[in-house]
Structure 1
Amino acid sequence: MLTLRNIKVWDTDEIIDLKVPTDGTLFEDGARGAEGGNGDVEIDATGLTLAPGFADPHVHFRDPGQTYKESMASGCAAAASGGYTDVLIMPNTVPAMDGETIDDPDAPGAKEVLDSGYDTVIDYLQHYEAIHGVSLPVRYDLCVCASKGRAGREATELEHWRRYMPGVDDDSKDDAQLAHPVTAISDDGSAVTPEILDDVLELARESGLCLIEHCEHHDTGAVNEGPVSRELGVPGIPEDTELKVVARDIAKARETGVHVHFQHVSTAISFDAIRAAKAEGLPITCETAPHYLALSDEALLKYGTLAKMNPPLRSEADRKATIAAIADGTVDLLATDHAPHTMEEKARGFLEAPNGIIGLECAYGVCHAKLVDGGFISDKRLIELMSVEPMRLMGHEPTDVTALLDRETDASREPDAKRVLDLTRPGEADGIGLVVLDTAAEWTVDPEAFHSKACNTPFGGWRVTGRPMATIIGRNLTFSRL
């Protein structure tokens, strides 16, 4: 058992003791998949904070189809290392996660799924742990494609994936299906095409799921259009390529009442449109990512293709507007858009290198250094942006630490005695997700030490503040660097 003495509850500042079993499998720095010991360990956790676990509704784990970049196992280990207890898997798997039965065994990625005994990507991912004989340290939901094959030509069919939603025929589902439901719709990597937008919005309306929209479309260009693109001699992407999708979908939300969530918003003009839509009372939410608040397109001159992404890094004025939108509440949550690629792929040059960077293992440190140390938001607000609001977008309630204390506290305790959250006691704990944070920690980002298979990040070598020290799901310590 691990006992943390004098740890602070994130939203009340109450000082408590936390007891956690350590007899399960956990991931540790330098000892991936190490077996927890059975001995009792007591640590003075003065200065540490206990908070609901981080949640990320925007990750790409490349499984099935591109596991040389990332797998469910490595991606979940990276998430646990970053303090995440819950993630939403985007549908740009290979084959795409569209609910369709795989009927071509020679299609890319098909053999991996079919050999598992299942014939849809959703079934494969829901049963991943049993198929591969692993225990993953993070909970995950699935996001279904808006279009068949993510090709943008024909909307997916509700009858092919409705059964995977929570609350639909639950009595006939096994435990894995109940644990990993479909909770959103997206063609992430591409905006929903105009030809099928109405059909996709109808799918969202009928199912009650949120449309998670990749709010960026361009046919040419590789980086943000401006002085940097001209200095690099690389075709530029105008900033209004994002606004066009945002404005289009705001109008559709007004017309249909469907909840639209905009991913990785990056421009001042888009934030202005979203701010106005929210003031109008429309069902609009949005996220941004750590790289848009920490970097501008000038980073391309230093980091090269490690700073190439979609949407592209924007101007310094847009970076400041992103921080302002976080500070004034326009931004509902922070998500990483964790996008693993090999370094060989990233070395192909601006025109050929794939878009995206990894972010799960340094997101909290980067955001804490830029937002909290910068004086823009508080520690508590950052936890809300990374824990509370992402969980709610995914349809889950974040863990209420104080409610756990009320439930677990011995009635015979003296009124003024310090309360104890004892996770070693038997009882219902399925929904618990917690992270232990050292908000004062200073550390250097080292991609070579990441649990992810990938190292494609511009943040390598950055000195940041704030670090997740332990991740807890249910009554299990799934990651520790204590």
Structure 2
Amino acid sequence: MRIRFQGLRLWRTGRRVDLVVDTAAATELIDETGALAGSESAATSTVDMSGMVLAPAFQDPHVHFRDPGQVDKEDMVTGCTAAAAGGYGQVLILPNTEPAMDGQARMDDGRTVIEYLQDYEEKLGRSLPVHYALCVAASKDRAGQEPSNPDDWRVHLPSREPHGSRPGAVAHPVLAISDDGSAVTDRTLDDVARIARDTGLPILDHCEHHESGFINEGEVSRRLGVAGVPASTELDIVQRDIELARRTGTRVHLQHVSTAAAFQAIRRAKEEGLPVTCETAPHYLALCDEDVLELGAMAKMNPPLRSRSDRESTLEAVADGTVDMIATDHAPHTVSEKAGGLVKAPNGIIGLETAYAICNQALVESGVISHQRLVELMSLAPAELLGTAITDIEDMAQDRNLLDLTKSEGAGLVVLDPAGEWTVDAGDFHSKASNTPFQGWEVRGRVLATIKDSRLVFSRLTSGQVKGSKEGRQAWIG
């Protein structure tokens, strides 16, 4: 079945185009409303998309899918489905799997976690709805005692091109190195930096370290009577990693930055021309530690939600370009784990299915940045960090008013409704997990469709929107 999206606005110029795509096979299409499910028809159906935005699919350089090791929380199928529902075309899977994704053969069948994930789709018997790449552990077992051995995972690096790294023959290449969940230790830092330079990978570092504490240190932690985490725990790692970049030239990407002091240090590093980038996450844009009073463990994460002033500084850092990109840090946990209370509950929340709406509301609707800039933060910048492909819609369209993807391959796109209003309900999520602090929020910004490899893989199109066409194939050739 083919779908013609009529009247879409290109994300950068606002020019109107029609888009024609094939749907994925019925077994691969995620059709949330049932309007397209099971359809193998060769006919073309038309959807009025006036006012909707066509953009390159989002990319997330920071997700945890818990597969292998904790598939009661999430697995590759549910994680990738949640990503597609959130408008993502590419994600980077971080290495805190069980066993760790360090290149060592520690699976029960003698494989490495990297090999397990490389073969996942073949074993599953179908393609997953998003592309995924891998981030190798910086240290063996993520224990911080000894760096991982690149000879254990070098074969999974992408092919090399003169102007940077691009995924080559490896289906799910290793594109970064990190011990995320904790910072790369002082003990291994220089060795990890050398390995990163030798392999051409950026270090993605969890820029925060503390031995005790559960939420941000401040008035809220004192009011609740729980140990706090000082903001300095983030700044200490940020300054250390900036000095590493200065001293060695290693590319360093600082994850989920959340404090004013850290952003200021990053600004100075960028002014100096150092190879340092950073991300923040939607929850640091929309929430602060005061929200812990109401949300409890659903607002417990690492780094913790910081002060109202730090949240305002995070918005400012997005506005002035200090923040290079937005990543979700999608971290699924079970209901029972999060019900354990503020002290015992694990850190982390899920975010793939709410990221666009939360960011659209916190950044665009509030006037902090433009919608075009939001797309850059969620699509272009992560692709630049990881060296992954991005679809240049403007180049594809040129002077035409029709994009016929049935004649092309590889395009990754998302159809967005920036004004679409909906209520967050974790019961409707495609993720196995429901640990979101945004339950019940009324938000603006909706993902309507996600296109992978030029085929529609996710749809929220209703039967009322999809109208059959008798005009036939010839009508769609521009």
* Distance across 2 between alignment mates of 1:283 and 1:218: 26
For residues 31-57 of structure 1, give each alpha carbon's deviation from its aligned partner in whole angstroms, at most 9, with x where no partner exists: 599434424210111101100000000
For residues 385-430 of structure 1, give each alpha carbon's deviation from its aligned partner in whole angstroms, at most 9, with x where no partner exists: 0011011111123210022224xxxxxxxx8xx62100112x4x22
Conserved? CA contact 1:23–1:36, under 8 Å: no
The amino acid that maps onto 2:262 is: S
Deviation at 1:29, TM superposition (A): 1.7
Q: Does 1:208 align with 2:200?
A: yes
Q: Can you give the 5+ residue segments of structure 2 that lack an aligned partner in the other structure? A: 162-166, 462-478
CA 1:455 to 1:145, structure 2 compared with 1: closer, same or farther past 3 Å? same
Conserved? CA contact 1:471–1:477, under 8 Å: yes
Q: Does 1:286 align with 2:282?
A: no
Provide the secondary structure at the position in 1 that maps to 2:318.
Answer: helix
**Aligned position for 1:18:** 19
For residues 79-117 of structure 1, give each alpha carbon's deviation from its aligned partner in whole angstroms, at most 9, with x where no partner exists: 000000000000000000000122xxxxxxx33xx2xxx
Conserved? CA contact 2:73–2:432, under 8 Å: yes
* Distance across 1 between alignment mates of 2:169 and 2:146: 26
Conserved? CA contact 1:126–1:176, under 8 Å: no
**Aligned position for 1:219:** 211
**Aligned position for 1:158:** 150
1:252 to 238, 244, 253: 244
For residues 437-460 of structure 1, give each alpha carbon's deviation from its aligned partner in whole angstroms, at most 9, with x where no partner exists: 011111111111000000000101
Provide the secondary structure at the position in 1 that maps to 2:273.
Answer: coil
**Aligned position for 1:421:** 403
Aligned ranges 1:281-320 → 2 under 5 Å: 281-320=273-312
For residues 162-196 of structure 1, give each alpha carbon's deviation from its aligned partner in whole angstroms, at most 9, with x where no partner exists: 11000179xxxxx9962210000000000001011
**Aligned position for 1:339:** 331
The amino acid that maps onto 1:26 is: L
CA 1:314 to 1:419, structure 2 compared with 1: closer, same or farther past 3 Å? same
* Distance across 1 between alignment mates of 2:269 and 2:241: 11
Following TM superposition, the consecutive aligned residue runs of length 4 or more in structure 1 with deviations greater than 6 angstroms are: none
Aligned ranges 1:2-81 → 2 under 5 Å: 2-24=3-25, 25-29=28-32, 34-38=37-41, 39-81=43-85
* Distance across 1 between alignment mates of 2:23 and 2:382: 28
Question: What is the Cα-based RMSD across aligned positions, in Å?
Answer: 1.7
* Distance across 2 between alignment mates of 1:329 and 1:388: 14
Aligned residues: 452
**Aligned position for 1:440:** 419
* Distance across 2 between alignment mates of 1:129 and 1:321: 42
Conserved? CA contact 2:159–2:168, under 8 Å: no
The amino acid that maps onto 2:100 is: A
CA 1:392 to 1:141, structure 2 compared with 1: closer, same or farther past 3 Å? same
For residues 229-271 of structure 1, give each alpha carbon's deviation from its aligned partner in whole angstroms, at most 9, with x where no partner exists: 0111111000000000000010010000011000000000000
Q: Does 1:186 align with 2:178?
A: yes
CA 1:168 to 1:377, structure 2 compared with 1: closer, same or farther past 3 Å? closer
* Distance across 1 between alignment mates of 2:272 and 2:39: 52
* Distance across 2 between alignment mates of 1:241 and 1:12: 42
* Distance across 1 between alignment mates of 2:59 and 2:80: 12
Provide the secondary structure at the position in 1 that maps to 2:197.
Answer: helix
Conserved? CA contact 2:62–2:329, under 8 Å: yes
Q: Can you give the 5+ residue segments of structure 1 that lack an aligned partner in the other structure? A: 103-109, 170-174, 407-414
1:133 to 125, 129, 135: 125
Conserved? CA contact 1:27–1:33, under 8 Å: no
The amino acid that maps onto 1:2 is: I
Q: Does 1:268 align with 2:257?
A: no
**Aligned position for 2:460:** 481
Conserved? CA contact 2:24–2:457, under 8 Å: no
User: What is the TM-score of this pair, normalised by structure 2?
Assistant: 0.92
CA 1:479 to 1:36, structure 2 compared with 1: closer, same or farther past 3 Å? farther
* Distance across 1 between alignment mates of 2:394 and 2:432: 37
* Distance across 1 between alignment mates of 2:386 and 2:39: 30
Conserved? CA contact 1:26–1:32, under 8 Å: no
* Distance across 2 between alignment mates of 1:477 and 1:195: 47
* Distance across 1 between alignment mates of 2:453 and 2:396: 12
Conserved? CA contact 2:280–2:325, under 8 Å: yes
For residues 306-365 of structure 1, give each alpha carbon's deviation from its aligned partner in whole angstroms, at most 9, with x where no partner exists: 000000000000000000000000000000000000010001112211000000001000
Q: Does 1:85 align with 2:89?
A: yes
The amino acid that maps onto 2:126 is: V
Deviation at 1:476, TM superposition (A): 1.1
Provide the secondary structure at the position in 1 that maps to 2:89.
Answer: strand
Moved more, 92-101 or 160-169: 160-169
